[in-house]
Amino acid sequence: MPNYRRAWVPGGTYFFTVTLRNRNADLLVREIDLLRQVIGRTKRRHPFRIDAWVVLPEHMHCLWTLPPGDADFATRWKAIKSGFARDTFLPQGDHLTDSEWLRGRRGIWQSRYWEHLIRDETDYRRHFDYIHINPVKHGLVTAVKDWPYSTFHRAVTQGIYPVDWAGDPSLDVRAAERPGA
């Protein structure tokens, strides 16, 4: 098994990408209320600050800041992913391996997620912008303001963005993508 190297920085700010196993699904937006409940429940048990978040049909990006002295984002993701999978009514598919079935997996999520430790203010801003432009990038809307499952609306209220920010679909925004993505 590969040796995944994670950066564990107490009180750190992290960018995450979490993806459903089925990249053609719409489960996250279809079950958005449940997802919000599970995230809220997780935040009460294991506090963290949500700096930015966007939920798309089959994946989500977010920017979190952990409390001082706490670097355990893995427990939070485990709670979110398992809570959502447990509480989502889905017929049990035959796409699970025997070991997944025995371990009680539902097969909803890709087994891993991608995380990036934010290094400085420029890095933070690039990822913050990337999160909010993502629905436009994926062709789900032509203006960021039109996507309902995003902290963009909160950022507008806070004066971070104007309401018409990034309304031009011809923009080529690759703020947080890995090279070649």
Catalytic residues: 149
Residue 87 in tokens: 């509480």
Rounded CA-CA distance 54/61 in Å is: 6
What are the Cα distances from residue 18, in Å, to 62, 140, 161? Answer: 9, 18, 25
How far apart, in whole angstroms, are the C-alpha atoms of residue 180 and residue 162?
Answer: 31
Tokens of 133: 């432009």
Residue 165 has a CB neighbour count (10 Å cut-off) of 17
Please, which contacts does 104-109 make with residues 24 or more away whose CB atoms are closer than 8 Å? Answer: 107/21, 108/20, 108/21, 108/27, 108/81, 108/84, 109/18, 109/19, 109/20, 109/21, 109/81, 109/85
